[in-house]
Amino acid sequence: MLAQQSLFDADRVPKGKQVLWGYCHVPNGSTVDMTNAVEQQIERFAPGFRDTIIDRHIINTAQFEAYNPNYIGGDINGGVLDLAQLYSRPILSVSPYRTPANGIYICSASTPPGGGVHGMCGFHAANAVLKDIK
Amino acid sequence: MQKNYEYDAVVVGSGPNGLACAIQLQRSGLSVLLIEGSEQIGGGMRSKEFFPGYLSDVCSAIHPMAAGSPFFSQLPLTDYGLEYINPPVLAAHPFDNGTSASLKSSLYETANGLGIDKGDYLDLMQPIVENWPKLAEDILGPFKIPKELIASLQFGLSAMKSAKWLSNRFKTEEAKALFAGMAAHSFLPLDQLSTAAVGLVLMANGHLKGWPLPKGGSQAIANALLSYFESLGGKVQMGWMVRSYGEIPPAKAVIFDTGPKQLIEIAGDHLPSIYKKKASEVSLRPRRI
């Protein structure tokens, strides 16, 4: 998957230049270098792309976990979000944000509704806190 | 016994959920401290110049879920510098013959681009797009009996299916590919049950709020959330990587915007072993269901 944000937000780059942002899925924890595969796929639909590259910055799953310790094995979703785990992360509960310890809560992407920039895990966790302490 | 705490609540981690949690608590009248381990707030919303003068998003980049978030939509984030840019085409899937299938803001324009699948696309997406605003808060949350029962069940019947099964309704490669690309955001094999849900939600949000990029990078979302939090009186401390529970200022509630692993590392002494066992069993690899 690719995005070329600087095409629509020119202040992100020097005049006449672009940043191309992209990723591909790999098995959890894989550190296989996917650069060539990704660039070949782009070339398939945009021949000549490779000749335009000034420089690359590549992040593999291990580096991603070092950058953000929540990304175990590079997983930005905080654990597989399949049918079995949709509502059961980190544990199966009507209030998954509460832990058994009084006053300790979890609100990350490892809680419903899961990964993505929407803040809804945090919002629901906050409401659980408010119910408990008000 | 009423103890006097410096803060009512401490949030550990400033990703989208940490910031959302901190804001919701602070605006509900609590005093909140937000602690961030790195020198830059935002978690998965950080942007960085890997090369001087070239700003890049590090993790998240395009934001249908932020623009469509029932919670973020309540906040005055434009007053705090957030500006979304919506490109004319939200997403496109290219083919070897030079054609492409594309998702546009308009439901009808998107459907019109799908040839003989126009009717099927409209039949699938129109009810979801129409119902999504009232379903979003229920579906994007913990499991409960939804307020909008019929509309939720209708959505659930499509969403529960595998993306592969659902895409069989389409005849063209274009429509199948477009939907597959959306559903791939589930990070699961597309023949697995419920993978359709992610595709449907992303497409519905595209038709409702677009797939915008924030001006100035994903960091701009984090910065706007933080500025709003601080305007409410919230306090933030960056560059403090919490290692043990004892470091955290005592508060009525401590909320971790971290994975279960970090929660257990930091607060494990306070958690029963059965919880630690269950929470650390959260699967990281797709399994057969």
Q: Where residue A81 falls among pLDDT bands split at 50, 70, 90?
A: low
Tell me whether residues B15 and A70 touch, CB distance under 8 A. Answer: yes
Question: For residue B142, what pLDDT is reported?
Answer: 77
| A58 in B contact zone (CB under 8 Å) | no
- Residue B18 with chain A: CB contacts under 8 Å: 107-108, 122
Segment B137-158 mean pLDDT:
78
Q: What is the DSSP letter of A98?
A: B
Whether residue B216 lies within 8 A of chain A, CB to CB, comes out as yes
Predicted confidence (pLDDT) at residue A71 exceeds the cutoff of 80: yes
- Asked if A49 reaches chain B (Cβ–Cβ under 8 Å), the answer is no
Residue with structure tokens 């939090």? B229
Going by DSSP bridges, is the β-strand pair A2-3/B235-237 parallel, antiparallel, or unpaired?
Answer: unpaired
Strands (DSSP E) along B36-121, which ranges? 47-51, 54-57, 84-85, 91-94, 100-103
Each residue of B75-133: pLDDT tens digit?
Answer: 999 999 999 999 999 999 999 999 999 999 999 999 999 999 999 999 999 999 999 88
What is the Cα–Cα distance from B215 to B199, expressed in whole angstroms? Answer: 25
Q: Which residues of A touch B184 (CB under 8 A)?
A: 1, 25
What is the Cα–Cα distance from B178 to B128, expressed in whole angstroms?
Answer: 17
Of A29-43, B104-118, B128-142, B273-287, minimum mean pLDDT range:
B273-287
Set of chain B residues whose Cβ sits within 8 Å of the Cβ of A70? 13, 15, 43, 258-259, 262
| SS3 call for B191 | coil
How many Cβ contacts (< 8 angstroms) between chains A and B?
A: 283
In order of B65, B137, B285, the CA distances from A105 in angstroms are 24, 20, 25
Assign residue A43 a region: left if phi > 0, alpha if psi is -120 to 50, beta otherwise? alpha
In the structure, what pLDDT confidence band is assigned to residue B289 with cuts at 50, 70 and 90? very low
**B187 with A25: Cβ contact below 8 A:** yes
Chain A touched by B76 (CB under 8 Å): no
Which stretch of B61-70, B90-99, B178-187, B240-249 has the lowest confidence by average pLDDT? B178-187
What is the C-alpha to C-alpha distance for residues B46 and B89, in angstroms, rounded to an integer?
A: 24
Q: Does A74 touch chain B (CB under 8 A)?
A: no
C-alpha to C-alpha distance for A48 and B201, rounded to whole angstroms: 35
Residue type, A1: M
The answer to whether the Cβ–Cβ distance between A14 and B53 falls below 8 Å is yes
**Contacts of residue B262 in chain A, CB cutoff 8 Å?**
69-70
CA dihedral of residues B22, B25, B31, B35 (deg, nearest 10)? -20
Structure tokens belonging to residue A100: 């058994």
A-interface mutation test, from B45, B84, B221, B255, most A Cβ less than 10 A away: B255
Assigned CATH topology for domain B9-83+215-258: FAD/NAD(P)-binding domain (3.50.50)
Q: Where are the domains of chain B?
A: 9-83+215-258, 88-211
Convert the pLDDT of each residue in B212-256 to its tens digit. 999 999 999 999 999 999 999 999 999 999 999 999 999 999 999
Percentage of chain B beyond pLDDT 90 is 73
**What is each CA distance from B24 to A29, A67, A119, B78, B231, in whole angstroms?**
34, 27, 10, 17, 13
Q: Looking at beta carbons, which residues of chain B come within 8 Å of A125?
A: 17, 21, 255
**Which of B108, B102, B67 has its CA nearest to residue B85?**
B67
Q: What are phi and psi of B245, to 5 degrees?
A: -60, -30
Are the C-beta atoms of residues B225 and B20 closer than 8 Å to each other? yes
DSSP state of A51: G
Looking at the predicted structure, is the pLDDT value of residue B2 above 80? no
CB contact under 8 A, B24 and A122: yes
A61 to each of A31, A64, A76, A126, B140, how far by Cα in Å? 6, 5, 10, 30, 27
Which tokens hold the place of B93?
A: 């899937």
Which residues of chain B have a CB within 8 Å of the CB of A85?
282-283
Spatial contact of A70 and A108, defined as CB atoms under 8 Å apart: yes
Structure tokens at B263: 């929660």
Model ipTM value: 0.94
Q: Give, to the nearest 10 degrees, the angle between helix B273-280 and helix B260-267.
A: 150
Q: Residue B277 is inside which H or E element, if any? A: helix B273-280
Looking at every residue in chain B, the average pLDDT score rounds to 91
- Of B175, B194, B177, B174, residue with least CA distance to B186: B194
User: How confident is the model at residue B228, as a pLDDT?
Assistant: 98
